[in-house]
Every structure is written in C-alpha cells, then in structure tokens.
Structure 1
Amino acid sequence: MKLLFLACLSPPTGNRTTAERISGYIQSSGHVCILRDIAEFKSSSQVSDLITEEKFEAVLMIHLYKGGRLLLDSSVPYGVIFGGTDINEDIKDEKKREVMGVVLQESRFLVAFTDQMKKIAELHWPFASSKIHVQPQVPRYGQKPPNAITLQFQGVVTKPCAKFSWGEFLQNSGVQCKNIDPYIFLLVCGLRQVKDPLFLVDAFSAWHKKEPRVHLIIIGPEVDAPFTQQVEAKVKSAFGVYLVSEKPQEELHAAMRDSFAVVNSSISEGMSSTILEEFIELSKRLISDTYLKESIVAKAKEYVEKHHSWNTERETYWKLTANLL
C-alpha cells in the first residue's frame, strides 16, 4: 500500500518526531509511506490532486483539524492521530469543531495519546467512541534515561551521544561557578505563548538571589516573533535565568542529561501548571533529598518501560494501518 502521511513537519515540533517514528513503523511492515508537511497545502483540493497524481491508496495524519480539513475533498480511506491542539484548543472553536466532526465520521480509526484525550473526544463526538484507540507515545529522546529528572514526572529518556556542560556554559556567560556545582533546571519549548516559558521567571529569579547555585535555562526555537521579544526582555532583567537558542537534537539531548531537572510548562496542559504552582518548594526538596530524586528517576524509568513501549506502539500502528487496506 502507498500511504500519504500528513503532519506538521517544521524542525522544532514534536509532531515531526512522532510522524517520522510512526512512518518508520509503517514502512517496516512493507508499505510505502510518504511524509508531507501540512503547511505545503492551502486547500483540500491540492491534497486531492496529489493523491490522484501520486496514486496514494490511503492517508494518515496528525491533527484532526489541521490535517483533517485537507481531506474533505478526498475519497481515500484515512486514519487520524489526535494532536494536543485538537483537544486543548481547536475543540473550543465552533467552526473548527464542526469540521472535526465531519472528519471523524469518515475516518477509519483515531488514535489518542491518553485516556483523558479519548474521554474529551467522546464527550463531543460520542458516535466516534468505538473508533478511538489509546496508544501512549514512546519517549522522544532515545532509549536510556538521562541523569536529569523531569518535574512533570514523565520519564524523559535519551541516547548517550554528544557531550555538553552547563558549567562551561555558565563560565562562558561570566558566572563564577568553579568551586560549586550548579543546579540547572531546563525548560525546553518553542517560544510561543501557549508554552508559557515566562511562568517561572519571577519566582526563579527571586530564588536565585538567595541560592546562586540554581539556574533556569529556557532553550528552544523562535516560533512567535513578538512573543520571543517579550521573553528576551523579561529574561534580560531576571537573575539566574538564561535564554538559549535551539540546538541540534543530539546536543539538546546532551544538555538535558547535564541538567539537574527538566521542566515542562504549558497553558493548555493542566498537569504542568498544577505542579509548577509548588515548583520552588519541590525543587528545594529535590536538591536536599538525594533519595527522593533517585526514587523519582527509578520510578519514571519503570513507568516508561511499562506504559510507553516501542514494541507496543509499533504493533498498534501495524494493526491500524491494516484497517486502511
């Protein structure tokens, strides 16, 4: 089968990583899978023409609205992987929700990354319940856990490839940390409002004044230019907070390994905000309690191995792809 895979493929996005991984699964099962960026297409007719010209037999897409609206003129079978934006943002817009409903009716299957995503989708489109499969994502960063923990309590894992030292980074930035071990809290995100990278800045700046060993590093690409300027101005006036531009994947993974903790922040994802309300208190405890840190790291690794299996994810997409034949 020749399959077209539509997704947001700009380099900074998690969608690209997810699409490349799933595409690999599909191709390993003997199908031809061609990835194309949603941003290439302005209308559903363009996608319809591409499907006809290239003789695609089926379509898979990430994002019920962004991708789904491009299939309204197509008659080939397709499956959809819910994006976080679908459930957290687009579902609130009546016109977008209407389009999403039409796409849902015609889809062969849908994939939600969590039970909560499925429940929200079922609430709005109960008729689609039997089509929705829950398949958690596998870790984006490889197969071995880093030294850093993640305060969202998700097991971030990474491959031991490139080397990176935040100590050297701080020294090159004029920070005297020769005889002390810095505690680096790393927030990785594209600079846009929904990721809320400024949530921690004021509280962290105040903490750094009392405890100079702690530093907050915000690292990621510019996604929203005006908002990026706002972040730059805020960070410039803060203490112990740094903004670093995006890095190649292997170097980013190494930077994560060299961090004390990896932090996640998002306006649309309630878990992150809830945990960050007690961020300073939790962080101080993690610094002083080695057993707690080691326990969280071990449990995170155990959780990932149990609930985010590469083999299970691969087999799920093999079976779902068969439904497009």
Structure 2
Amino acid sequence: MRILFLAVLRAHTGNAVTAARIRDHLEAVGHTCNLKDALDFESSTELSSLICAEKFEAALALHLYRGGRLLQGQRIPFGIIFGGTDINEDTKHGEKKQTMGAVLEEARFAVAFTESMKEMALNIWPHAKGKIYIQNQGISTMPNITFNWNTFLQSAEWHQEEPNVYMVIVGPEVDPVFTSEVKSRVKRAAGVQLMGEMPREDLHAIVKNCFAVVNSSISEGMSAAILEAMDLEVPVLARNIPGNAAIVKHEETGLLFSHPQEFIQQAKRLVNDPALEKEIVTKGKEYVRSCHSWKLERDTYQNLLRKLQ
C-alpha cells in the first residue's frame, strides 16, 4: 500500500525522529511510506493534487491540526497521531479546536502516547470514543562511539562558583525570537554552552557523557529526550507538567521540579546523593524497557494500518 505520512519535519526535532521511526515500522512489512512536511502545503487542494499524482492509497498525520486538517475531505482513509501541541496548545483556540474535532470524525483511528492524553482528548471530543488507541513511544538509542567529547569540552566555560558544574543546551533553532533571547542570556551566563542541532547519534553520545538531562519544557506530549536519557542510563530532571509526569515518577525514574529554585535544589540533591542517582538510573532503564518497547510500537502501528485498507 502506498501511504502518505504528514508531519512537521524540521531536522533533528522530536517530530522528525518520531515520524521517521513510524515510517520504518510500516515499510518493514512491505508498504511504501512517503514522508512529507505538512508546512509545505498551504491548503487541502494542494495536497489533493499530490495524492492524485502519487496515487496514495492511505495517509497518516502526526498532529491533529498541523497535519490532520490537510487530510479533511480527501478521498483516502487516514489515521492520526496526537502531538502534545494538539491537546496542550491548539485546543485553546476555538477555530483550531473545531477543526481538530472534524478531523477526528473522519479519521479511522487516532493514537495517543499516554492514558492522560487520551482522557483529555475524550473530554474535548467525546465522539471519538472507541477510536483512540494508546501507544507509548518506542525507544532505541545509538550513541556515536567515535564522538570527540574532549574537543567539545575544550569550548565549554566553567561555572564561576562551582567549576565542576556546567550546562549544555542542544537543539535546532525553531523560533527566531526565542533563539535570539536564549543566545543573549547564554552570553551572560558562565558555565553554559549553547550548541545547535546535530545528528541523533552524536546527541546520544553527549547525553551518555553527561551527569543528567534536564527537560524544562512548559508543554510536552511525550518527551523522547527524557526516554532516551533513561535508556542511556542518565538521570533526568524534568519540569512537573502532565506530559513529563506521565513518564517520570518523582524520586523513582527521575526528579520533577516546578520552578527554578526547586530545580537547583533537586539538582544539588542528585549530585550529592550517589544512592539516589543509582536508583533513578536503574528504575529509569527498567521503565523504558518494560513500557517503551520499540518492537511493541512496531506491532501496534502495523496492526492499526489494517484499518486503512
């Protein structure tokens, strides 16, 4: 079957990694899955021309609004994968909320990463009952064993008060205004190193050599970065928001914080308590192995695809 897969595909972002992984799951059983960036299309009409030209037989979209809205009214069956933005942000806008409800009516199925995400969706769109399935993200990590860690460290500035503590910020520049603000603050912050986007294997190598990974996001669906850190046996400090709390159990698989002062408190606690660090690393690894199986994710999407045939 020829499948069109819509997602926001900026390189080295969680969306792009998730979409590529799911595409591989589908192609492993003989389907052809063509990934397209949802931002490349201005209207459903434009997408319709592509569907006809490429003879797509079915479609998937990552994000109910960003991708799903383009599939409305198309003459092929489709499924939807929720993103955190759908529930956490886009439902705050009346028009987007209405559009997403209409997309759910047409979709053959929808996938939520967590039970809480499914419950929130059903509270907003009760008509989708029986259509939403839960599938955690499947995690696999591949650190680049040849990554030159020493070269990276030579460019890091040491913190003035505690020279052995520093922070590395890694990721693509998505929002120009926010990026400018971050760069400005980093210049004034001793011990903070800002790096751009990089291949996933290199990022995993950096994570593997860090003491802890911090997720300070104020809006998450399911953070693959947190799960990858757990898989790499690195402790996690995460902001206490629903998406993070769904996968980080405080003092077991990681530490949660609600404000900067609490982050510093929990970070110092982790540094000074080797027993706590060991417990978090052990339980985090066990959690990923038992609840975020790459193989189970593959089986789920391959089975759901039958609903589009």
Matches of 1:227 and 1:79, distance apart in 2? 33
1:19-72, CA deviations, whole angstroms, 9 ceiling, x for partnerless residues? 111111111112121111112211101111111221111111101001111112
How far 1:173 sits from its partner (Å)? 4.4
Q: Of 157, 171, 180, which aligns to 1:220?
A: 171
Residue 131 of structure 1 corresponds to 131
1:162 aligns with 2:143: no
1:13–1:168 Cα change, 3 Å? closer
User: For structure 1, which segment, 112-121 or 4-13, has the greater mean C-alpha deviation from structure 2 after superposition?
Assistant: 4-13
3-state secondary structure, aligned to 1:232:
helix
How far 1:102 sits from its partner (Å)? 0.6
How far 1:231 sits from its partner (Å)? 1.0
TM value normalised by structure 2: 0.84
Query: What is the identity percentage for the equivalent residue pairs of Structure 1 and Structure 2?
Result: 49
Matches of 1:267 and 1:254, distance apart in 2? 26
Residue 8 of structure 1 corresponds to 8
How far 1:218 sits from its partner (Å)? 1.1
Aligned partner of 1:58: which letter?
A
Residue 273 of structure 1 corresponds to 239
List gaps (5 residues or longer) in structure 1: 143-157, 176-207
1:217–1:57 Cα change, 3 Å? same
How far 1:7 sits from its partner (Å)? 0.9
1:269-302, CA deviations, whole angstroms, 9 ceiling, x for partnerless residues? 4994332332112211221221211111110110
Matches of 2:155 and 2:56, distance apart in 1? 52
1:211–1:295 Cα change, 3 Å? same
How far 1:87 sits from its partner (Å)? 0.9
Residue 36 of structure 1 corresponds to 36
How far 1:13 sits from its partner (Å)? 1.7
1:95 aligns with 2:95: yes
1:70-99, CA deviations, whole angstroms, 9 ceiling, x for partnerless residues? 112312110000011101110111000111
Q: Of 171, 186, 189, which aligns to 2:154?
A: 171
Matches of 1:62 and 1:247, distance apart in 2? 22
Aligned partner of 2:289: which letter?
E
- Residues 37-186 of structure 1: matches in 2 within 5 Å? 37-139=37-139, 142=141, 158-159=142-143, 161-165=145-149, 168-173=151-156, 175=158
User: For structure 1, which segment, 26-35 or 62-71, has the greater mean C-alpha deviation from structure 2 after superposition?
Assistant: 26-35
Residue 228 of structure 2 corresponds to none
How far 1:253 sits from its partner (Å)? 1.3
1:230-252, CA deviations, whole angstroms, 9 ceiling, x for partnerless residues? 11111111222221222222221
Is the 2:156–2:192 Cα contact (8 Å) retained in structure 1? Answer: no
1:262–1:210 Cα change, 3 Å? same
Q: CA RMSD in A?
A: 1.8
Matches of 2:86 and 2:208, distance apart in 1? 31
Aligned partner of 1:273: which letter?
R
3-state secondary structure, aligned to 2:130:
helix
Matches of 1:311 and 1:250, distance apart in 2? 20
1:289 aligns with 2:240: no
Is the 2:170–2:196 Cα contact (8 Å) retained in structure 1? Answer: yes
3-state secondary structure, aligned to 1:323:
helix
How far 1:135 sits from its partner (Å)? 0.2
